[in-house]
Amino acid sequence: MKNSMYRYLKLFLLLALSFFLITACYTQVTQKVDTSKPQLATSNCRMVVHQLGKTCVPLQPQRVIATDPFALEVLLGLGLKPIATAEPNIVGSRGRHLSGRVEGVASLGKISQINMERMVQLHPDLIVGFFMNSSSYELFSQIAPTVKANFKYVKGTWKDSLREVASILGSNKEAESAIANYQQRVKILRKAIERKLGRLEVSVSRFYASPQNPPQFDTILSFSGGILQEVGLEAPSQQLQLTTNSDTSYVLISLERIDLLDANTLFVMLDPGAEDNFRRYQKSPLWQKLNVVQSKRVYTVDSGYWWLGNILAANAILDDLYQYLGLQSQI
């Protein structure tokens, strides 16, 4: 009996000791993980729910990092200059719409290979981006509170992305003011087009640097296509027939179907280094037969903001429309 009680007592003590050791180890590990993450008192931040989780965002962030060029543009459009940003993967693809706005913004390298060490050294208090996965989100979150915003552009939904980031930053008034100013410009330009030009079919094409990549035309659902529609410019009927899906923002075309680009006016977006590829098409008899070519209404524009963007890019496109359509800007 005594031996049996002794065995039970021994077993109990072993279990108690094991529990104590496991608890102690778990506490140490937890403390190590927690101390590596940025901590904010809940009174100094507010909880934001996003695609990859929940983040307590500082009430007045001062050292914000943008993890991609589109987040950079949105921040600048809201009047907030980030301390650093990642660069486009294609050299020279940053649009002219950001000229004069990014001085003093540190580079974190390419989007595909962000310099994490540099990011840590900058001591950000908030990290914002449109393009990050769960792995990069976890890494960024070890450095500072991180939020992934939804990147939208189809048929004017870029305004939703602007408002979302503004909500994260507490800059709702700035977003609504920027959108109201843009809408006012759209209204004035639309009236000028109706009064001076009437009905006008406008085509937008993109040429890549590599000859292996065929050109494309952007549909009414694209970023630039949505803006053209806002100001009352129509897409060519032959393009509308090929825009069958609600998410078709562009259509690739061969040289044999270059006629799909024909319109009253054609804007050609050139990627960095695409000049040679574009000249190859220009030498084709099929290109030279286009009515828009013969009437000399083809204009090359910067793909850095015509292809995708937000509030700054949208305003830059309006500037181009005023210039190339022969209208005088009033704002």
Same domain for 127 and 217? Answer: no
Tell me the per-residue pLDDT of 210-232, one tens digit each, with 9 for 90 and over. Answer: 999 999 999 999 999 999 999 99
List, for residues 79-94, the tens digit of each pLDDT value: 999 999 998 876 555 6
pLDDT score of 319: 96
- Greater confidence (193 vs 11) lies with 193
Beta strands in the chain (DSSP E): 45-50, 53-58, 64-66, 84-87, 106-110, 126-129, 146-148, 202-207, 216-218, 250-252, 265-270, 298-302
Q: What is the pLDDT of residue 97?
A: 86
45-76 pLDDT, tens digit per residue, is 999 999 999 999 999 999 999 999 999 999 99
| pLDDT of the residue at 295 | 96
Enclosing domain of residue 92:
43-151
Per-residue pLDDT tens for 81-132? 999 999 887 655 567 788 888 999 999 999 989 999 999 999 999 999 999 9
> Are both 79 and 181 inside the same structural domain?
no
At residue 268, what are phi and psi to the nearest 5 degrees? -110, 115
- Looking at residue 130, the DSSP 8-state letter turns out to be S
Residue 130 is predicted with a pLDDT of: 96
Has residue 5 been placed in a domain?
Answer: no
Please count the helices (runs of H) and the strands (runs of E) in the chain.
Answer: 13, 12
DSSP string, 138-186: HHHHTTS-EEEPPP--GGGTHHHHHHHHHHHHT-HHHHHHHHHHHHHHH
Q: Residue 133 maps to which CATH number? A: 3.40.50.1980
Q: Tokens 């005594």 appear where?
A: 2
Residues 81, 210, single domain; the answer is no
Residues 190 and 295 in one domain: yes
131 and 249 belong to one structural domain: no
Q: How many folded domains does the chain comprise?
A: 2
pLDDT of residue 93: 57
Residues 190 and 320 in one domain: yes
Same domain, 201 and 315: yes
Query: What is the distance between the alpha carbons of residues 117 and 223, in angstroms, rounded to a whole number?
Result: 34
- Please tell me the predicted confidence (pLDDT) of residue 244: 77
What pLDDT does 2 receive?
Answer: 38
Instruction: Choose the final residue of a domain: 116, 151, 186.
Output: 151
Residues 255, 278 contacting (CB under 8 angstroms): no
What is the model's pLDDT at position 39? 53
Assess if residue 166 is contained within a domain: no
Residue 147 sits in the same domain as residue 198: no
The reply to whether 191 and 252 lie within a common domain is yes
- Report the range out of 93-102, 239-248, 267-276 with the highest average pLDDT: 267-276
Name the average pLDDT for the chain. 86
44-76 in b/e form (b: 16+ CB < 10 A) is ebeebebebeebbbbeebeebbbbbbbbbbbbb
What is the per-residue pLDDT for 19?
37
Contacts of 56 (CB under 8 A, 6+ apart): 40, 42, 45, 46, 47, 48, 145
The DSSP output letter for 323 is H
| pLDDT tens-digit readout, 130-166 | 999 999 999 999 999 999 999 998 888 999 999 999 9
Per-residue confidence at 329, pLDDT binned at 50, 70, 90?
low
Question: With pLDDT > 70 as the criterion, what percentage of the chain qualifies?
Answer: 85
Whether 5 shows a pLDDT value over 80: the answer reads: no
Could you tell me which residues come within 8 angstroms of residue 180 by beta carbon, excluding any fewer than 6 positions away?
none
The pLDDT of residue 186 is above 60: yes
Question: Do 112 and 182 fall into the same domain?
Answer: no
pLDDT of res. 100: 84
CA atoms within 13 A on the CB side of 256: 0
